[in-house]
Amino acid sequence: MAHPIVEKMKDAGLRYGDKAAVALSSLLFVVCLGLALSKKSIELTPDQIKKSAEQADSNINRKQDRETINQALVQADIKPTNFSKEVADSVKTVLVSSEYKPVREWIIPEPGAGLIRDTPVLIAVHELYAYASRGGALVYELDKEGNRIVDKDGKALPKEKERLGRRRRGGAGGMGGMGGMGGTAMGGGRRSRASRKSQAELEREQQKEFAERKEAVQSKLVGRDEPESAEEKAKSKDEKPQGPPEQYKEITKGLRWVAITGKLDHGKLVANYKEALKSASAQPYYARLDMQRQVHQDDGSWGDWEDVNADENLKVLDNLPEEDEELTPESVRPPGLNDPLPFLKTGLWEKVHLASLVPKEKKEVAPPPSLGMGGDDGEGRGSMGRGMMGRGMMGSMGGYPGMGGMRGGPMGAGGGDGMEGGGYGGGSAMRGMSMSGKMGGMMGGGPGMGGMMGMGGGGGGVDITGDWKSDEKTVMIRGLDFTAQPDSEYRYRVRIVVYNPNYKRDDVTPEAGKIKTQMYLTGPWSQPTDVVTMPPDVSPYAMGTMPTGPRSDLKVNFQVVRFDEADGVTVPHRFASSPGELIGETSSVDIPTSEGTGAKAKRIDFNTRSIVLDTSGGLQALPNGFTGGAVERPALALVLRSDGSVTARLQLDDENDEMRKDIEKNYAKEVKDSNKKRESSMGSSYGGMMGGYPGMGGMGGMK
Contact 559, 664 (CB under 8 A): yes
- The more confident residue out of 694 and 533 is 533
What are 603's strand-pairing partners?
588
- The more confident residue out of 428 and 520 is 520
pLDDT in tens, 261-308: 999 999 999 999 999 998 888 999 999 999 999 999 989 999 999 999
Can you give the pLDDT at residue 442?
A: 35
**Residue 157 pLDDT grade (very low, low, confident, very high; cuts 50, 70, 90):** very low
What are 147's strand-pairing partners?
none
pLDDT in tens, 434-452: 333 333 333 333 333 333 3
Secondary structure of residue 129 in the 3-state scheme:
strand
Whole-number average pLDDT of the chain: 75
**Residue 195 pLDDT grade (very low, low, confident, very high; cuts 50, 70, 90):** very low
What are 140's strand-pairing partners?
250
Can you give the pLDDT at residue 58?
A: 85
Span 46-69, average pLDDT: 85
Pick from 5-19, 148-162, 627-641: least confident: 148-162
What span, in angstroms and rounded, lies between the C-alpha atoms of 394 and 415?
6
Can you give the pLDDT at residue 461?
A: 64
User: Does the pLDDT at position 457 exceed 50?
Assistant: no
**Residue 42 pLDDT grade (very low, low, confident, very high; cuts 50, 70, 90):** confident
Tell me the residue type at 264. Answer: L
User: Does the pLDDT at position 189 exceed 60?
Assistant: no
pTM exceeding the 0.85 threshold for the entire prediction: no
User: Does the pLDDT at position 487 exceed 80?
Assistant: yes
**Residue 478 pLDDT grade (very low, low, confident, very high; cuts 50, 70, 90):** very high
Span 127-153, average pLDDT: 91
User: Does the pLDDT at position 515 exceed 70?
Assistant: yes
Can you give the pLDDT at residue 449?
A: 35
**Residue 242 pLDDT grade (very low, low, confident, very high; cuts 50, 70, 90):** low
- The more confident residue out of 177 and 504 is 504
User: Does the pLDDT at position 329 exceed 50?
Assistant: yes
User: Does the pLDDT at position 226 exceed 80?
Assistant: no
Selection from 562, 553, 665 nearest residue 615 by Cα = 553
The values of phi and psi at residue 525, to 5°, are -70, 145
Q: CB neighbours of 351 closer than 8 A, spacing ≥ 6?
A: 129, 131, 259, 261, 685
**Residue 37 pLDDT grade (very low, low, confident, very high; cuts 50, 70, 90):** confident
Task: Give the DSSP letter string of 271-329.
Answer: HHHHHHHT-TT----EEEEEEEEEEB-TTS-B---EE--HHHHHHHHT--S-B---SS-
Can you give the pLDDT at residue 307?
A: 96
Can you give the pLDDT at residue 266?
A: 96
User: Does the pLDDT at position 692 exceed 60?
Assistant: no
Span 338-354, average pLDDT: 93
Can you give the pLDDT at residue 441?
A: 36
Span 468-485, average pLDDT: 95
pLDDT in tens, 70-112: 888 888 888 777 888 888 888 888 888 878 887 767 766 554 4
What span, in angstroms and rounded, lies between the C-alpha atoms of 198 and 194?
9
What span, in angstroms and rounded, lies between the C-alpha atoms of 635 and 637?
7
Secondary structure of residue 697 in the 3-state scheme:
coil
Can you give the pLDDT at residue 68?
A: 84
Span 519-539, average pLDDT: 95
pLDDT in tens, 556-582: 999 999 999 888 999 999 999 999 999
The values of phi and psi at residue 178, to 5°, are -125, 45
Can you give the pLDDT at residue 93?
A: 83
- What letter does residue 37 receive in the DSSP assignment? H
Span 54-63, average pLDDT: 85
Pick from 142-156, 157-171, 255-269, 343-357: least confident: 157-171
User: Does the pLDDT at position 159 exceed 60?
Assistant: no
Can you give the pLDDT at residue 420?
A: 33
Q: Residues of the chain with pLDDT > 70: what percent?
A: 68
- The more confident residue out of 4 and 489 is 489
Cβ burial, residue 471 (10 Å; 0-12/13-18/19+): exposed
Can you give the pLDDT at residue 415?
A: 37
Phi-psi region of 330 (alpha: psi -120 to 50; beta: other; left: phi over 0): alpha
Contact 523, 511 (CB under 8 A): no
**Residue 194 pLDDT grade (very low, low, confident, very high; cuts 50, 70, 90):** very low
User: Does the pLDDT at position 517 exceed 70?
Assistant: yes
**Residue 200 pLDDT grade (very low, low, confident, very high; cuts 50, 70, 90):** low
What span, in angstroms and rounded, lies between the C-alpha atoms of 498 and 177?
23
What span, in angstroms and rounded, lies between the C-alpha atoms of 638 and 648?
5
